[in-house]
Amino acid sequence: MSDFDDIRPYNDDEVHSVLLRLLADNEFVDAIVRLKSPLMSRLAAGLARPLARRALHKELAGVTTVEGFQAKIENYLQKNIDETTTSLTTSGLELLDKSRPYLFISNHRDIAMDPAFVNWILFQNGFQTLRIAIGDNLLTKPFASDLMRLNKCFVVNRSATAPREKFKAAKQLSAYIHHSLVDDQANIWIAQREGRAKDSLDISNPAIISMLALNKPKADDFGDYMARLNIVPVSISYELDPCDTMKARELTLTAEQGAYQKAEHEDVRSIAQGITGQKNGVHVAFGQPFGADLTSVEDVANRLDRCIAARYVLHPTNCIAHEIIHGRAPAVNVGAHAKPYVPAEHSEAKKHFEARLRACPEAFREQFLNIYANPVQAQLDIGSLQSSADAS
C-alpha cells in the first residue's frame, strides 16, 4: 500500500471500477443532465436520468486508462474554450524544457479553469499534463472526488483541524509533491494561496512554501532543495471573470460584517459558473524556473509575487475599471502584444464593461471595480519600485 493512496490520483488499473461507480451514482448523472440539458432536467427528470446514463455508458465505453479519460475531457474542454473565450494566448513557454518536470505555482482566480487552462496549453504544446492540487473542501460529493482523481488531481487535506493532524497532512503533501517531481517526473500545479484571490490581489501564502520545504532533509541547503523542485511562476489573466458579481458580494459582506458564511455547495456553484461563464480573452504567462539563489520561505513567496504581477497580461476591462475609479487612463500596456492602453481604442469594450457594471447590484459595485482594477495598480506599483531602484 502506498503512503499516498488516500490523496493521489487514480491509476490506470482503477479506472474501470471508478467509472462503473460514477455511472451508478444518481447524483453524478443528474449533475450531467443539469449541465447539458437544464430544461430537460426540470421538465422531465424521470426520463432524463436513464437517457443520460445510457449516453454516458456509450461515451465511456472502452475507456480503461487515465489518458483515455483525459482524451474525453479534452473534447469537452475544447468546446468550452471555443464557447467561452474569444482568445487564449500564452507566453514564456520558450523558457521551459519539455523533458523536465516542473512545479507550476500560479495565481488563483477560478477554481477549475486556472489549472484547466495551464493544462490545456501545456498539452497543446507537447508537454505532459499536470497533476493538480485540489482542496478536499471542494470534494463534498463522492462523485466529485472520483472525477477529479480520474483527471490526475491529488487531494489537499484542508479539513484537518488539530495541529498534529494538520502537520501530518502537510508533511504527506510535501512528500507526495517531491515524489511526483523527482521519482515520477510528473508536472504539478498548485495555487500560490489557499482559495481564490477574489480581490485580484495575487499574494502568495508563505505557508504554501513552508509546506513544500517540509520534505527537505535537514542537511540539504534550502536554495538547492527549492531549485530541485523546478518552481515555475504562472500568471493567469481573464478579460471577464464569470464570478465577478459573486466575488464582489462576498468581499462587500465580509468588509461590512467582518466575516462571510458560504452557503452549502456555494463552491460547487462557483465552479459551474467559472466553467460555463464568458471569459473573453485569457492569457497564461509562464516565468523562468527558479534557481538556487533563494534563501528563505519569504524569498520564494516574494519572488513569486513579483513574477506573477510583472507577467500578468492586462485586458481592456482592467484598465477601464482603473480609469473609472481614478478618472484617468493608467499608463500601462494592455493585451498579449503589450500595446499602451489608449481609451479611444477601447470605446466598445468600455460600453460592454459599463453595462456589466450596471448589472451588478449597486451595493457591490465598488468591490466589482476593484476586482478588475487591482492588477493595474499592482503593475503601476512595480513600475514605481523599479524607477526608485534605477534612481538609487
Cα distances (Å, whole numbers) of residue 265 to 137, 138, 164:
10, 9, 28
For cell 495598480, name the residue.
377
Query: Can you give the pLDDT at residue 392?
Result: 42
Domains and CATH numbers, the chain: 12-313 (3.40.1130)
- Of 76, 56, 69, 71, which Cα lies nearest the Cα of 15? 69
What residues contact residue 98 under an 8 Å CB cut-off, 6+ apart?
126, 127
**Phi and psi (nearest 5°) for 232?**
-120, 120
- Of 117, 119, 18, which Cα lies nearest the Cα of 66? 18
Q: What is the pLDDT along the chain (392 residues), one digit of tens a residue?
A: 488 999 999 999 999 999 999 999 998 888 888 777 766 666 666 678 888 899 999 999 999 999 999 988 888 899 999 999 999 999 999 999 999 999 999 999 999 999 999 999 999 999 999 999 999 988 888 898 999 999 999 999 998 889 999 999 999 999 999 999 999 999 999 999 999 999 999 999 999 999 999 999 999 999 999 999 999 999 999 999 999 999 999 999 999 999 888 887 788 789 889 999 999 999 999 999 999 999 999 999 999 999 999 999 999 999 999 999 999 999 999 999 999 999 999 999 999 999 999 999 999 999 999 999 999 999 998 876 554 445 44
- Of 231, 228, 214, which Cα lies nearest the Cα of 300? 231
Give dist(CA 227, CA 249) in Å, integer: 40
Query: Can you give the pLDDT at residue 45?
Result: 65
Could you give the residue ranges of the DSSP H alpha helices within the chain?
12-23, 26-36, 38-43, 45-60, 66-84, 113-124, 142-150, 163-178, 206-213, 222-228, 244-257, 266-276, 297-311, 316-326, 347-359, 365-391
Q: Parallel, antiparallel, or unpaired for β 187-191 and 103-106? A: parallel
Query: Can you give the pLDDT at residue 389?
Result: 46
Concatenating the DSSP letter of every residue in 303-334 gives: HHHHHHHHH----HHHHHHHHHHHSS--S-EE
Query: Can you give the pLDDT at residue 33?
Result: 80
Query: Can you give the pLDDT at residue 384?
Result: 60
For cell 490523496, name the residue.
7
Query: Can you give the pLDDT at residue 300?
Result: 97
Give dist(CA 175, CA 46) in Å, integer: 47
Query: Can you give the pLDDT at residue 16?
Result: 95
